[in-house]
Chain A
Amino acid sequence: AQSVTQLDSHVSVSEGTPVLLRCNYSSSYSPSLFWYVQHPNKGLQLLLKYTSAATLVKGINGFEAEFKKSETSFHLTKPSAHMSDAAEYFCIVSGGNQGGKLIFGQGTELSVKP
């Protein structure tokens, strides 16, 4: 069985400081992992995906994530937060079956203070 846990329901940072959003996963085989972002009243937008090609994955808007198999983690980071980064972030593992059925984390709400 697969599962994903986002360790923080809410993270608050100041503009210009680093962002760390934590995600642990459980999978019986090599997973595909995604981070999505959701701005208020919008759908989910793909930030980045890990599909076993490289453990450090770079995404859009300066975000990146590192796949650590030994720690079963896929934490999302950004060196310097911007006000526009305030949103909800979802860590997701692919079910691995046909059609890419997804297993969602509960989400982490990121607040950015001026």
Chain B
Amino acid sequence: DVKVTQSSRYLVKRTGEKVFLECVQDMDHENMFWYRQDPGLGLRLIYFSYDVKMKEKGDIPEGYSVSREKKERFSLILESASTNQTSMYLCASTLGGAPLEPQHFGDGTRLSIL
């Protein structure tokens, strides 16, 4: 079974802090994704990556950056956290070059910015 692990289930940070959310997958997947989930807005794609050191902007990249130094790890960075970034963050991964393959999701990180 594919395992996607997000390092924190709950996180509380202060406005202006630099925040790192970590995601690791154990199935050698090429593609990794970061989403945020908000009530009434569903899931929205922040960034994704097709390979190590590659990144692509999703639908709402503003205020975020990502890092993919190793294939199994995809980090989401909030450069200067703001209260409107309080949300549930979900990481996912899938095989590369296989658009029919489903994404596998982590359990999420519920982030609160005070």
Q: Which residues of A contact B (CB under 8 A)?
A: 32, 34, 36, 41-46, 49, 51, 90, 94-102, 104-107
Contact = CB atoms under 8 A, between A and B. Distances in A.
A51 to B, nearest CB: 5
A43 B90 contact: yes
A43 B4 contact: yes
B42 A96 contact: no
Nearest to B104: A46
Nearest to B51: A99
A98 B51 CA distance: 12
A41 B101 contact: no
Contact of B107 (A42, A49, A51, A101): A42
Contact of A45 (B40, B42, B96, B105): B105
Contact of A90 (B31, B43, B100): B43
* Majority SS at the chain B contact face: loop
20 contacts: A32-B99, A32-B100, A36-B105, A41-B110, A43-B4, A43-B90, A43-B107, A44-B103, A44-B105, A46-B102, A97-B99, A98-B50, A98-B97, A98-B99, A99-B31, A99-B94, A101-B48, A106-B40, A106-B42, A107-B42
Given A41-B110, A107-B42, A102 B100 contact: no
Interface in B38-89: 40, 42-43, 45, 48, 50
A62 to B, nearest CB: 19
B92 to A, nearest CB: 8
A46 to B, nearest CB: 5
B80 to A, nearest CB: 27
B102 A99 contact: no
B101 A100 contact: yes
B48 A99 contact: yes
B102 A34 contact: yes
A102 B103 contact: yes
Nearest to A9: B40
